[in-house]
C-alpha cells in the first residue's frame, strides 16, 4: 500500500469519527499494551468497529 493511500484512509477515519460526534486521541500504543484484533474481510470494516465501540459506550462524545 502506498503512503498516499494511508493518508487518504486516515482522513476518511478522522471524518467518520467526527461525523459520529466523537473525538480522537493522538497517541502511540506500545507493544506491551494488550490489544483486541478486529478482523474483517471488508476493507471498510473499521467503520463497524467504530460503530460497535460507540454503541458499547467505549468512546466518549465531545
Contact 7, 44 (CB under 8 A): no
Q: How many helices, marked H, and strands, marked E, lie in the chain?
A: 2, 0
What pTM value is reported for the model?
0.61
Cell numbers linked to 41: 474481510
Q: In the chain, what are the domain boundaries?
A: 3-55
Secondary structure class of 60 (helix, strand, coil): coil
Residue 59 confidence (pLDDT): 55
| Tens-digit pLDDT profile for residues 8-31 | 888 998 899 889 888 777 777 788
List for the chain the helix, strand, coil content (%; round to 5): 45, 0, 55
Residue 16 confidence (pLDDT): 93
Amino acid at each position: 500500500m502506498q503512503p498516499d493511500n494511508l493518508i487518504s484512509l486516515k482522513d476518511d477515519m478522522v471524518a467518520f469519527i467526527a461525523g459520529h460526534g466523537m473525538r480522537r486521541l493522538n497517541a502511540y500504543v506500545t507493544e506491551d499494551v494488550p490489544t483486541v484484533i478486529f478482523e474483517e474481510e471488508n476493507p471498510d470494516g473499521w467503520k463497524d468497529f467504530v460503530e460497535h465501540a460507540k454503541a458499547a459506550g467505549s468512546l466518549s462524545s465531545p
